Amino acid sequence: MSAVTLNNFSKSYGKMSVLSGIDLTINSGEFIALVGPSGCGKSTLLRMIAGLEEITGGNIEIGDRTVTDLAPKDRNIAMVFQSYALYPHLSVRSNMGFSLKLRKVATEKITSAINSASTMLGLDQLLERLPKALSGGQRQRVAMGRAIVRRPDVFLFDEPLSNLDAKLRVQMRSEIKSLHQDIKTTSIYVTHDQIEAMTMADRIVVMNKGNIEQAGAPLDIYDRPESKFVAGFIGSPAMNFFTAEYKPNGSDGFININDECTIPLPKLRTLQQGTVECGIRPEHLSLSKEKKTGHSIKVTVDVVEPTGLATIVYLSFGDQKICFYTSDRPDIGPGDTVYLQLSENKLHLFDVNTGKRLN
Amino acid sequence: MTAYTINRRLWSTGRYLALSLYVLFALFPLFWLFRVSISPTKLLYTEGTSLWPSMVTIENYLIVLQDTSFPTYFLNSVTVSLGTALCTTLIASAAGYAFSRFKFKGKAIIAFLLLLTQMFPLVMVIAPIYRLMQPLGLTDSLTGLIVVYTAFNTPFATFLMQSFFDAVPKDLEDAAMIDGCTRFQALIRIVLPLTLPGMMATLGFIFTAAWSELLFALMLINSESQVTFPVGLLNFISKFSVDWGQMMAAGFLALIPACIFFALIQKYLVTGMTAGAVKG
Ligand SMILES: Nc1ncnc2c1ncn2[C@@H]1O[C@H](COP(=O)(O)OP(=O)(O)OP(=O)(O)O)[C@@H](O)[C@H]1O
Ligand SMILES: [Mg+2]
């Protein structure tokens, strides 16, 4: 178990910069999820930590060693690939024992390490098989097993579950989480799936265009996104945004949405007055058929999607699309005119230009 | 039986029929080779094109093995073909790996030059090659033939090997390097076992190509002791007659090493070695 520290970690291909000065400390035993849109540099960052990709600038420490210039094999890390990358000509047993054998660990020790890992992962019956005779989920487990037997300082995962079907993904998700709770190895987990990130990680790092937008505990990021990008990226269905006018009012302030709805707010510290980007999550709206007192806007129903557990309603507010999420089953249909109330303490305000959080 | 199953049976019967016809067509010349080689010379012209001669003899084989230099030619050919196949596969594997895995300056140009060498008819380069080889003492020698064959087969073999290396996912090498290998160890322990079928195929291919090469062998070799078997076959054609029986017997014997060779490597030629490495 070791902490990982990245200092001004950067990468460019020729003139094109892919990562620009990443600073990040991952505590010993922590489970970090790296999320961000496709092409933002998550895999590149992970591969640089592994030593598979050359580092253009900055340095990396694992534990108390600076490993910037070390080969992958000398960093004592293990990586689980999206493609699993099992050695096709080796049995499950040899796949799992490969690294130990290279390190010339005694045969009995290798056997016992493989046995305990395979018991933990339910692979006992499959040890003599070749990878091609395994199902996707089993291959995934072997890849995990190969990482575990190493007892590495750090686990790296690059979208390990994205090739599995939805049900297996949920199952493996909780298996990986409980595995981490058992062995508590520092883990860095790249994923596209925000539910994975939210449920598994101690801390989520949201990346965008080669930068870290925000790093924090999952619920903190969800409740207090530091930028419009994070607010829109985390959460599904995604947060709704409107443009609104902010005006100060004595010691307080208020925002005005389309002259239709005025919502009082505590005064903003960084903005005198002007246009702001106002965000609210779909579950922080409430719907009524009649206009109620409070802060409501008049909208038209476009689509109603009952999922059983909840109902997701897509509505139009002028030419803006709004998503509303409720665990009720509202009696509405397309074309209906309804009112949405905005809970004033759930509003997120962002700067229109920089996208930074204002309130 | 429903119409569907009848239909399916018809299809599968048709498929086997077509395949059998194809195999028959491909193997018939070989059969004819054998048929002529065991026919007594005097019956060759009198019996015409009957499928099987009325009398069978091994006389042709005995003459070829005992009274001609065919055994020498044969050994020469084995030496040259094996030497060429080994050298070419070795060089092509190294080059193919580099093309598949590394970025380097001039990669595109080298690839283009390799391709360019494949575009000229061999006849055009024979004279310059001869002039080049003579001062080096490589004419009239089996080593010289191996050098020339290797040079001419390497470009194609390189592209062939590159495609086999390309088929091995890069993740496997990355995983091996994280697991504790150097790049070289990853190559030896992971990539090589997976490209072995490809190397064997290349080996077999180049062996066959060198085995049947005639042009260079004819031009570069003078002395009887260095002649390879394709050139040797021509000896059966004299000014006044062709000794068909002996020539066919020699030809049939020449098939043997190729058959043995392919029998040895055929287990590597089964596909699907990389199946299961990554989810496709
Ligand atoms: N060899 C390369 N040469 C040039 N650019 C590259 C190279 N490899 C990656 N890139 C660029 O680096 C950026 C980051 O790629 P990376 O694979 O890290 O993205 P990612 O965040 O993992 O995306 P995804 O979620 O789709 O896997 C991309 O814009 C990509 O085009
Ligand atoms: Mg990626």
CATH number at residue A225: 3.40.50.300
Q: Is B220 within 8 Å of B231 (Cβ atoms)?
A: no
Q: Tell whether A287 and A340 lie within a shared domain.
A: yes
Predicted pLDDT of residue A220: 95
- Burial of residue B120 (number of CB atoms within 10 Å: 0-12, 13-18, 19+): exposed
Predicted pLDDT of residue B272: 41
Q: Tell whether A229 and A190 lie within a shared domain.
A: yes
Predicted pLDDT of residue B110: 92
Predicted pLDDT of residue B271: 52
State both tokens at A338.
Answer: 């309804």
CATH number at residue A305: 2.40.50.140
Examine residue A358 and state whether it is found in any structural domain, yes or no: no
Q: Tell whether A134 and A79 lie within a shared domain.
A: yes
CA A144 to each of CA A102, A128, B34, B220: distance values in angstroms, whole numbers, following the listed order: 18, 17, 59, 60
Q: Tell whether A219 and A298 lie within a shared domain.
A: no
Q: What are A130-174's pLDDT values in tens digits?
A: 999 999 889 999 999 999 998 999 999 999 988 888 888 898 899
Q: A72 in contact with B at a CB cutoff of 8 Å? A: yes
Q: Tell whether A209 and A263 lie within a shared domain.
A: no
Examine residue A50 and state whether it is found in any structural domain, yes or no: yes
- Proximal ligand: closest to the CA of A192: 1
Nearest CA owner, ligand 1 atom 9: A44
Average pLDDT, chain A: 91
Q: Do A81 and B171 touch (CB under 8 A)?
A: yes
Nearest Cα residue in chain B from A158: B171
Which secondary structure element, helix H or strand E, spans residue B123, and what is its range? helix B122-133
Q: Do A88 and B176 touch (CB under 8 A)?
A: no
What residues flank ligand 1, with Cβ below 6 Å?
A 13, 18, 36, 38-44, 192
Does residue B195 have a pLDDT over 80?
Answer: yes
Chain A residues with CB inside 8 Å of B279's CB?
A: 83-84, 136, 139, 163
Q: Tell whether A227 and A255 lie within a shared domain.
A: no
Does residue A271 have a pLDDT over 50?
Answer: yes
Band of residue B240 on the pLDDT scale cut at 50, 70, 90: low
Does residue B21 have a pLDDT over 80?
Answer: yes
Task: Tell which of A179, A214, A233 closes a domain.
Answer: A233
Q: What are A53-92's pLDDT values in tens digits?
A: 999 999 999 999 999 999 999 999 999 999 999 999 999 9
Length of chain B: 280
pTM, whole model, 2 decimals?
0.81
Q: What are B106-151's pLDDT values in tens digits?
A: 999 999 999 888 888 888 888 889 999 899 988 889 999 999 999 9
Chain B residues 115-174 within an 8 A CB cutoff of chain A? 169, 171-172, 174
Predicted pLDDT of residue B170: 92
Pocket test for ligand 1, best of A40, A157, A190 (most atoms within 8 A of CB): A40
Examine residue A289 and state whether it is found in any structural domain, yes or no: yes
Q: What are A163-202's pLDDT values in tens digits?
A: 888 888 898 899 899 989 988 999 999 998 888 999 999 9
Q: Which residue has the higher pLDDT, B274 or B26?
A: B26
Examine residue A134 and state whether it is found in any structural domain, yes or no: yes
Mean pLDDT of A27-48: 94
Give me the number of domains chain A comprises: 2
Q: Tell whether A121 and A157 lie within a shared domain.
A: yes
Examine residue A357 and state whether it is found in any structural domain, yes or no: no
Q: Tell whether A210 and A277 lie within a shared domain.
A: no
Write b or e for each residue in B128-139: b if 16 or more Cβ atoms lie within 10 A of its Cβ, otherwise e: ebbeebeeeebb
Band of residue B273 on the pLDDT scale cut at 50, 70, 90: very low
In this complex, the residue of B185, B272, B277 whose CB is nearest that of residue A85 is B277
Q: Tell whether A215 and A281 lie within a shared domain.
A: no
Nearest CA owner, ligand 1 atom 8: A44
Does residue B280 have a pLDDT over 60?
Answer: no
Q: What are B141-176's pLDDT values in tens digits?
A: 999 999 999 999 999 999 999 999 999 999 999 999
Examine residue A91 and state whether it is found in any structural domain, yes or no: yes
Examine residue A92 and state whether it is found in any structural domain, yes or no: yes
Task: Tell which of A172, A198, A233 closes a domain.
Answer: A233
Task: Tell which of A233, A263, A280 closes a domain.
Answer: A233
Q: Tell whether A227 and A253 lie within a shared domain.
A: no
Band of residue B1 on the pLDDT scale cut at 50, 70, 90: low
DSSP string, A66-124: E-TTS-GGGS-EEEE-TT----TTS-HHHHHHHHHHHTT--HHHHHHHHHHHHHHHT-G
Q: Tell whether A245 and A227 lie within a shared domain.
A: no
Q: B258 in contact with A at a CB cutoff of 8 Å? A: no
Q: Tell whether A306 and A321 lie within a shared domain.
A: yes
Examine residue A359 and state whether it is found in any structural domain, yes or no: no
The ipTM, to two decimals, is 0.84
Segments forming the whole domain that contains residue A97: 4-233
